Amino acid sequence: MNILVTGATGKVGSRLAQRLVQHGHTVRALVRDPARATDLSGHGIHLITGDLMRPDSLRGAVNGVEAVVHCAAFFRGATPEEAHAVNNHGTQHLAQAARAAGVGRFVFTSTGLVYGPNGGVPAHEDDACAPIDAYPQSKLAAERLLLAIDGLDVRILRLPFVYGDGDPHIEDVVPFMRTFPPAQRMSIGHHADVAQAVIRLLEAPSPAHRLYNVADDEAPDLATLFASVGQPPPDGTDPERAKAFAAVMDGRRLREDLGFHPLYPRLADAVRAGMA
């Protein structure tokens, strides 16, 4: 397929775009500044300039593509207003452009944080959502507006905490989660498995559902996550703040419907393979 990927300069999008090329797809990346995305060109990814907040710039980006994989999002450092503008309104602009251009499929990468605190009980796709932070609230709003659009084949993946492939995500999050409870669990997923999930959903002629969770077979506690990068466990001094990130997901639907099987079912598997 000829695919447009947004967020291709980000941690998830950059690795995903390269894997889509390796899988035989033609990939173009929507970027605001091509000078900052030259590494993508070296991997056979075509750059096209555009901005989610400038709807007119999106027409050329979606022209002639068969599918859109929308990974772009504003998370860390965003005010609630900025998160809502980019993650909700920006998504709407892109979806409208895709529908007008006759794009066949639209895959949206959302987040498992949309479920809100669930006490460690794995959340199923049909469960009610009650996110308590601005970022997942904006992603949930984007999900709902996408699912309400007629004439666009929308498919949504709710991602876990993503790691691996040289991404320092675990190390980066240690200072932020230092005050979280050490026994709090969190669904995770390796970049390779996120890409596998996107490709399976993207290529499925008609999936049985429009919403799928992506998650490893095991949701480690934070003490285990910290230990994987040589850090002592978090101290548990701010359990209230931690609740917004206590996202554990049930990933059976993706396995049963689309044959997804994690390459790295557990964090320990990725560590042993030197891929964490």
Return the active site residues.
Answer: 135
* Cα–Cα dist 48/171, whole Å: 32
Task: Show Cβ contacts of residue 272 under 8 Å, excluding neighbours closer than 6 positions.
Answer: none
Per-residue 3-state assignment (H helix, E strand, C coil) for 149-207: CCCCEEEEEEECEEEECCECHHHHHHHHHCCCCCCCECCEEEHHHHHHHHHHHHHCCCC
Whole-angstrom distance, CA of residue 246 vs CA of residue 187: 8
Tell me, what amino acid is at 19?
R
DSSP-derived pairing of the beta strands 188-190 and 67-70: unpaired
Nearest to 216 by CA among 242, 252, 180: 252
Alpha-carbon gap, residue 2 to 5, rounded angstroms = 10
The answer to whether residues 186 and 219 touch, using CB atoms and an 8 Å cutoff, is yes
d(CA 32, CA 269): 37
- DSSP one-letter code for 42: T
Task: Give the closest residue to 227 by CA, choosing from 272, 187, 182.
Answer: 182
Transcribe 78-129 into DSSP letters. Answer: --HHHHHIIIIIIHHHHHHHHHHTT-SEEEEEEEGGGG---TTPPBPTTS--
**C-alpha–C-alpha distance, residues 39 and 31, integer Å:** 12
